[in-house]
Amino acid sequence: MYAADDSLQSPLGAVGKVTVPIPADGPGEVLVALRGGSEAFAAWCAGPVAVNTRVVVVDTFSARSVLVEPLPP
């Protein structure tokens, strides 16, 4: 039986939490639930986002860089 290679799973649509604040002009960091665990990504957003804010990944720039949007409270 063939097992899917989940190492290629995209973070697109995954929910995470900001661990390093995201400034308006640069990256912060998010911890995203992915592949049965959590992975850290450099994260950008249209505006600043505070630590512990829940976000969703809306785009990817590279394997370790994502664009996020805050989730409604």
DSSP state of 46: S
AA letter at 62: S
pLDDT in tens, 20-31: 999 998 899 999
Q: What is the pLDDT of residue 8?
A: 57
- pTM score: 0.85
Give residue 36's pLDDT band: very low, low, confident or very high (50, 70, 90).
confident
Higher pLDDT, 47 or 6: 47
Domains in the chain and their CATH numbers? 12-70 (2.40.50.140)
Distance from C-alpha of 35 to C-alpha of 37, rounded to nearest angstrom: 6
